[in-house]
Amino acid sequence: MFSQSIYHTFQRYRTLKTHTIKALPIVILMPHSACNCRCVMCDIWKDNKNLKQLTEKDIEGLLDSLRKFGTRQVVMSGGEALLNQNFFRFCEILQKSILKSACCLQALLSKKMQPHL
């Protein structure tokens, strides 16, 4: 858990009261839209043919907004985030600018990638 300033807490309160984003403590990104699993309860993999991926430029373009809204954590979800070849570069960029990043990964690739996590 992370501590928050009174100012940031107030900005979160203002977000709730005004329905205008003033603070965004956690952001979830989708680095890669496709998935290499075929879970029966999920339909993400059914749209693998319409692949969309984030680029370094996309991530760098978000940094000012993440700072402005006091983002403290970025969660990488998907699809399978590790299918994006620039995944670890994204983590480097975010960790230099934002306090924490986390991954929401499925087990197949995460075992192969464990030395890098």
Interface with ligand SF4 (CB under 6 A): 35, 37, 39, 42, 44-45, 78-80, 106
**Rounded least distance, CB 115 to ligand SF4, Å:** 21
* 17/90 Cα distance (integer angstroms): 33
Which of 24, 37 has the CB closer to ligand SF4? 37
Task: Count other Cβ atoms within 10 Å, centred on residue 23.
Answer: 20
**Please, which residue, 24 or 30, has the CB nearer to ligand SF4?**
30
CB of 63 to ligand SF4, least distance (A): 26
* Closest distance of CB 69 from ligand SF4, Å: 27
Which residue's CB is nearer to ligand SF4, number 35 or number 74?
Answer: 35
Closer residue to ligand SF4, CB minimum distance, 23 or 80: 80
Shortest Cβ 10–ligand SF4 spacing (Å): 36
